[in-house]
Amino acid sequence: MEPIMANLRTAASYARTGNIALAQMEIEEATATWKQLATHTPPSGPPYTPVALTEFLGRGGERLGAAARALDGGDVVAAGRELLLLRRSFHELRRRSGLYDLADCVFEIAPAMDKLRVAATYYGEHPAPARAEETIASASAFRDRLQRCNDWARADVAETSEFRRLIDGAIASSTEISHAAMAGDGPLVHRYLIELQSYAQLLDFRFG
């Protein structure tokens, strides 16, 4: 699954930026590998139960096909949605099977990032103490998620310059966006929000 997940992350990134041709190439590679996985993976055995594995492989293949068709039609939003659903189903399968690592943790920061994005954006449009508090609370929750992922990183990953730049930068920016909200500085909140979205996307692309 590792090369497939790498293909899916890359395809999602290309789809998000509108590069349909490159996204299609990644989907084609993922589909070819998926067919091999479905053919050669045993139907049972730890850590996956036969029913869960069969369901995952069947629905995953359907979602890959749906993503490919969406890209053929130029619908990058639909393609991104199918890729996200497929990635989510993989992490849910792992969780149900008692598996968890850095990739699972990084994948799970997206909802916290979305909540912070909504709070910070609304604060920028309607600055008020209550909106600032929502932004600060969301930033704190996001920072907690980042710290958790930092703790889950294996030593050989945690010590790399790329991981340190991304995780430390995101943690620092999540602190600064809180300070900016407390100071009532809407433009600075927006600037740190852009930074944090970039960090979250890069973490997901590289380690999710």
CA 117 – CA 84 distance, rounded (Å): 18
44: containing domain: 2-99
pLDDT number for residue 42: 56
Residue that terminates a domain, selected from 99, 125, 140: 99
Residues 77 and 60 in one domain: yes
Could you read off the pLDDT of 34-60 as tens digits, one per residue?
888 777 655 555 677 777 888 888 888
CA 139 – CA 11 distance, rounded (Å): 28
Report how many domains make up the chain: 2
pLDDT number for residue 49: 77
Could you read off the pLDDT of 166-206 as tens digits, one per residue?
999 999 999 999 999 998 898 999 999 999 999 999 999 88
Which range, of 105-109, 127-131, 163-167, averages the lowest pLDDT?
A: 127-131
> For position 75, which CATH number holds?
1.20.120
Residues 56 and 118 in one domain: no
User: Could you tell me the pTM of the whole model?
Assistant: 0.82
Residues 90 and 166 in one domain: no
Residues 70 and 133 in one domain: no
Could you read off the pLDDT of 1-11 as tens digits, one per residue?
888 989 999 99
Radius of gyration of the chain (CA): 19
Residues 181 and 132 in one domain: yes
Q: Which two tokens stand for residue 42?
A: 């045993």
Percent over 70 (pLDDT), the chain = 97
Contacts 24+ apart (CB under 8 A), 118-123: 120/177, 120/181, 120/189, 120/190, 120/192, 120/193, 121/193, 123/181, 123/186, 123/189
Q: Provide the 3-class DSSP secondary structure of residue 4.
A: helix
Residues 186 and 94 in one domain: no
pLDDT number for residue 35: 85
pLDDT number for residue 96: 86
Residues 6 and 81 in one domain: yes
pLDDT number for residue 170: 97
Residues 117 and 38 in one domain: no
pLDDT number for residue 98: 87
Residue that terminates a domain, selected from 99, 131, 158: 99
pLDDT number for residue 39: 75
pLDDT number for residue 69: 95
pLDDT at 32 over 70: yes
Residues 87 and 168 in one domain: no
Residue that terminates a domain, selected from 61, 80, 99: 99
Phi, psi of 75 (to 5 degrees): -95, 90
Q: What average pLDDT does range 111-117 have in this prediction?
A: 94
